[in-house]
């Protein structure tokens, strides 16, 4: 079979750059495809420190007249991702900063439109064969930061297909119309049929309009974003692309999140078959957070962005109520986000010393400790495209209490509040509906009553820990999606001998591929419509 060349363009990829699930998801996808033999190359900005995580780094091109000025295109490989090849766009003026998107006070960098337009233009030039690199067959863009890629690739008139994956419709990259000139977007796109959005311009809309296919990260979210409640104003645009919209659920990296071999657990490894060390992880967590070291105290953890998406505003009201209701309960929160929520958590810590503690900040190690030492994870969401955090918790035997939305509705098994004790043995978590403090408190109470029934709780824990959410299922789905975009005659060409570590660079000296034919591709991945979801 012909090996397709995929260029995955993104603003995050763990461990190179991460602020949330986007980084985990893009890396997980790239690594899984790479290991299955697909020639996938990641492309992202060279943020501060990113280059240090690559080996074999060399300059491939100097790209002039990009938004924000000249940039270097570097190629390397990422050993932490099993050798996935990586292209970094280096322009220190744009990317060498303390953080990825915003300053310490949470103010978005003023030039974010230029920063991510530069990345998108650079990707489009790679796609057009304007560098030493051969053209990829598919450019796979992720979220609004790369939303201009499909538009720019199409504008160049090159025969390269594009896919846009929506990880979160709530973040759209909307900027003043006047920005258009500085980001190299032609005025003909600045209308409602193009990328205009309520008098401004939208990167996400550019991607939705111009990508050959649009995917999102769970089946339920794929249906939800077609509605007014979840579509964030772009449901109408999506409705025009219904036949090109697919759901490819994320997976989790079972090596990175593995309680049996997790360096962050301080030597206290455990597994579904041997839970002896889980109480020691709890003790370590309690010590780390300054909670009273009590092995019998149920520990409720929360680790997420402290924003309205994650119902953190409700959580700070629900937490004191359950701490009052259950005198042995302890709560540990790791997160950062809205300043008033951070302040409310610090206040709770003062009000409930030894029983409630908050770590404000972003800390990968503590995130692992939370899952290792917790009994249950509070993960309310007003919308959740996929929701990696509850799956990480499940793998560590920490039972998620989540909202019945998006990916959580698909991945957390809960037979429901009226289900008998036997049915709950098959559950992997507790789901709740609605967006009120009462429903959140009710769900925590339900989890507490299950926790008080050790046999049911142990069965749930075992089921949660052994559920399979690896990337293995996503690989054939992406593969068939990519292939559906390439005409049959191109797919039937004699295969080029597959390189041991396939990458775009491996093809630099190979003969250029002939241009592939028409835009019409056969459809093989399941669409939202065929999933009976529209």
Check binding of 388 to ligand GLC (CB under 6 A). Answer: yes
Closest approach, Cβ 388 to ligand ADP, in A, equals 4
Site string for ligand ADP, 296-335 (x = CB under 6 A): -------xxx----------------------------xx
Give the span between the Cα atoms of 142 and 239, in whole angstroms: 20
Q: What is the 3-state secondary structure (H, E, C) of 35-84?
A: HCCCEEEEEEECCCCCHHHCEEEEEEEEECCCCCCCEEEEEEEEHHHCCE
Check binding of 364 to ligand ADP (CB under 6 A). Answer: yes
Q: Which of 3, 15, 18, 20 binds ligand GLC (CB under 6 A)?
A: 20
Check binding of 403 to ligand ADP (CB under 6 A). Answer: no
Contact of residue 259 among ligand ADP, ligand GLC, none (CB under 5-8 Å per partner type): none
* Closer by beta carbon to ligand ADP, 4 or else 42: 42
Q: Which of 16, 21, 207, 289 binds ligand GLC (CB under 6 A)?
A: 21
Instruction: Report the run of H or E that residue 126 belongs to, with start and end.
Output: helix 112-127
Closest approach, Cβ 143 to ligand GLC, in A, equals 8
Give the span between the Cα atoms of 446 and 451, in whole angstroms: 9
**Residue in 101, 249, 95, 245 with CA at minimum distance from that of residue 171:** 101
Q: Which residue has its beta carbon closest to ligand GLC?
A: 21
Site string for ligand ADP, 15-44 (x = CB under 6 A): -----xxx-x--------------------
Check binding of 363 to ligand ADP (CB under 6 A). Answer: yes
The token duo for 452 is 């008080």
* Closer by beta carbon to ligand ADP, 28 or else 194: 28
Contact of residue 335 among ligand GLC, ligand ADP, none (CB under 5-8 Å per partner type): ligand ADP
Contact of residue 482 among ligand ADP, ligand GLC, none (CB under 5-8 Å per partner type): none
Q: Which of 47, 203, 352, 386 binds ligand GLC (CB under 6 A)?
A: 386
Give the span between the Cα atoms of 38 and 3, in whole angstroms: 6
The site for ligand GLC, by CB under 6 A, has a size of 14
Give the span between the Cα atoms of 296 and 181, in whole angstroms: 62
Task: Determine the interface stretch with ligand ADP among 238-246, 290-298, 385-393, 468-476 (rule: CB under 6 A).
Answer: 385-393
DSSP letter at 152 equals H
Give the span between the Cα atoms of 27 and 356, in whole angstroms: 34
Task: Determine the interface stretch with ligand GLC among 2-10, 383-391, 456-464, 515-523 (rule: CB under 6 A).
Answer: 383-391
Give the span between the Cα atoms of 12 and 515, in whole angstroms: 31
Buried b (16+ CB within 10 A) or exposed e, 197-226: beebbbbbbbbbbbbbbbbbbbbbbbbbbb
Closest approach, Cβ 363 to ligand ADP, in A, equals 5
Does the bond joining 104 to the residue before it have cis omega, within 30 degrees of 0? no
Tell me which residue has tokens 């979220």. Answer: 143
- Strands in 70-160 per DSSP E: 71-78, 84-90, 138-142
Contact of residue 217 among ligand ADP, ligand GLC, none (CB under 5-8 Å per partner type): ligand GLC
Binding site for ligand GLC (CB under 6 A): 20-22, 25, 167-168, 217, 250, 384-388, 407
């Amino acid at each position: 079979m012909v090996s397709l060349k995929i260029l995955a363009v993104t603003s995050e990829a763990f461990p190179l750059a991460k602020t949330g699930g986007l980084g985990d998801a893009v890396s997980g996808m790239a690594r899984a495809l790479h290991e299955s033999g697909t020639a996938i190359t990641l492309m992202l900005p060279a943020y501060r420190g990113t280059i240090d995580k690559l080996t074999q780094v060399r300059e491939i091109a100097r790209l002039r007249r990009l938004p924000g000025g000249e940039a270097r295109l570097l190629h390397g490989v990422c050993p932490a991702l099993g050798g996935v090849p990586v292209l970094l766009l280096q322009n220190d003026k744009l990317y060498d900063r303390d953080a990825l998107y915003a300053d310490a006070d949470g103010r978005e960098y003023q030039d974010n439109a230029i920063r991510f337009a530069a990345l998108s233009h650079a990707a489009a030039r790679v796609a057009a064969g304007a560098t030493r690199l051969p053209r990829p067959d598919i450019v796979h863009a992720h979220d609004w930061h790369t939303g201009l890629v499909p538009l720019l690739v199409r504008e160049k008139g090159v025969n390269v297909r594009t896919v846009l994956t929506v990880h979160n419709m709530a973040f759209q990259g909307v900027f003043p119309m006047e920005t258009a000139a500085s980001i190299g977007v032609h005025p003909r796109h600045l209308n409602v049929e193009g990328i205009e959005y309520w008098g401004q311009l939208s990167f996400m809309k550019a991607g939705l309009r111009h990508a050959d296919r649009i995917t999102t990260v769970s089946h339920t979210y794929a249906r939800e974003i077609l509605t007014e409640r979840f579509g964030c104003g772009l449901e109408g645009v999506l409705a025009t692309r219904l036949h090109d919209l697919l759901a490819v659920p994320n997976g989790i990296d079972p090596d990175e999140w593995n309680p049996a071999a997790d360096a962050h657990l301080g030597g206290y490894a455990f597994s579904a078959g041997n839970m002896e060390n889980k109480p020691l992880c709890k003790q370590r967590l309690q010590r780390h957070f300054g909670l009273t070291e009590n092995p019998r105290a149920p520990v409720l953890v929360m680790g997420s962005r402290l924003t309205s998406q994650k119902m953190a505003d409700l959580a700070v009201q629900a937490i004191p109520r359950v701490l009052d209701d259950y005198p042995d309960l302890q709560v540990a929160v790791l997160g950062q986000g809205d300043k008033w929520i951070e302040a409310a958590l610090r206040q709770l810590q003062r009000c409930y010393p030894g029983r409630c503690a908050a770590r404000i900040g972003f800390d990968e190690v503590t995130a692992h400790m939370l899952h290792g030492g917790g009994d249950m994870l509070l993960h309310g969401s007003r919308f959740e495209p996929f929701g990696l955090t509850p799956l990480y918790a499940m793998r560590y035997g920490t039972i998620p209490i989540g909202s019945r939305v998006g990916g959580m509705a698909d991945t957390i098994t809960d037979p429901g509040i009226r289900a008998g004790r036997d049915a709950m043995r098959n559950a992997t978590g507790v789901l709740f509906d609605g967006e009120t403090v009462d429903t959140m408190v009710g769900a925590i109470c339900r989890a507490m009553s299950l926790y008080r029934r050790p046999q049911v709780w142990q069965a749930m824990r075992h089921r949660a820990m052994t559920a399979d959410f690896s990337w293995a299922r996503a690989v054939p789905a992406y593969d068939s999606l990519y292939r559906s975009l390439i005409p049959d005659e191109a797919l039937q060409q004699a295969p080029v001998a597959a390189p041991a570590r396939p990458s775009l660079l491996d093809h630099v000296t190979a003969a250029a591929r002939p241009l592939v034919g028409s835009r019409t591709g056969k459809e093989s991945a399941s669409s939202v419509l065929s999933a009976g979801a529209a």
